[in-house]
Each structure stands twice: as C-alpha cells, then as structure tokens.
Amino acid sequence: MQAPCPDLSGQYLLQGEDGRVEFLIQQRSCQEITMIRKATYLGKTTLERHLLKIDGHFHADNPWFGGRDKVTTSARFIGQQLEIVAAPPRDIASVYWKTRYELLPNKDLAISEFQKTTQSYTPGLVAHRQR
C-alpha cells in the first residue's frame, strides 16, 4: 500500500534579487491541486492560476511564467514530491520543463527544476511558508 501524499496546501513566498513569487496552493486530497502564482519581476506582476489533476496524465492548462503559448501539464506524486511536467499540446514528448515540489519538515516548500543538460534535478530553491 502506498503512503498518503503530503498536503502541500498553504501560502509560500520565494524571494529573489530582482523579484518574488507568491504561491497559493489548495490541495484536495491526492487528486487535485490548484496553484495560484503571483510573480513580480523588475516591477512587472503576472498572475496565473493552474488546476492540476494529480493523475500523471497530460491535461490542457494555462500558460506558465507569464508566457502566452498553450501548454499541457502532467502532475503526479513521486514519493513525497509533486512533479509537474509541461509540454506542447500536440507533442508531449517535447517537454518544456519539469519541476518538483517537496514539503520540508519546517513546512517550507523545496522547488527543484530538471536540467536537460545533466538529466537531473537541481538542488532546490526554498519558498518560505507564509501561512
């Protein structure tokens, strides 16, 4: 029997030199996550909302990171990490990016990005839990 998935629900802040990203995650059991990202970079703010089914299959989604291109995303838990994969709608083999989210013991959120050059995930950035 598989261990229950972690509950990533919460509000998080990732602060950088030139901007910040606020995440609001609402999780419904191990089946669905709503992620609202508010990114402010060099004074420009973008807001995006993603409703992700956690089933490992690709589904139509809104653009990420302020982009305009149509995208499909897949979400699944791999152990205690939520992996989100984005790809073009008509060619899911051509992955745009992969990111893993992991809840840390202090309830902050580790965010690791897949690097195509090394075929591995980077050590994660940490988004600090706000509430």
SS (H, E, C) the chain: CCCCCCCCCEEEEEECCCEEEEEEEEEECCCEEEEEEEEEECCEEEEEEEEEEECCCCEEECCCCCCCCCEEEEEEEECCEEEEEEECCCCCCCCCEEEEEEECCCCCEEEEEEECCCCEECCCEEEEECC
Q: What's the whole-number mean pLDDT along residues 45-49?
A: 93
State which residues form the domain around 63. 10-129
66 lies in a domain?
yes
Instruction: State the pLDDT at residue 2.
Output: 56
Does the structure show a pLDDT above 70 at 66? yes
Instruction: State the pLDDT at residue 115.
Output: 83
3 lies in a domain?
no
Q: Hey, which of 50-59, 88-97, 121-130 has the most confident mean pLDDT?
A: 50-59
Pick 51 or 67 by higher pLDDT. 51
Tally the domains of the chain: 1
Q: pTM for the full model?
A: 0.89
Does the structure show a pLDDT above 70 at 1? no
Q: What's the whole-number mean pLDDT along residues 22-45?
A: 93
57 lies in a domain?
yes
43 lies in a domain?
yes
Q: What's the whole-number mean pLDDT along residues 36-60?
A: 94
Question: What's the first-to-final CA gap in the chain, in angstroms?
Answer: 31
**Cα–Cα distance measured from residue 45 to residue 40, given in angstroms and rounded to the nearest whole number:** 4
Instruction: State the pLDDT at residue 123.
Output: 80
**Residue 78: pLDDT band by 50, 70, 90 thresholds?**
very high
Instruction: State the pLDDT at residue 18.
Output: 85
The angle at the Cα of 53, spanning 49 to 55, to the nearest 5 degrees, equals 150
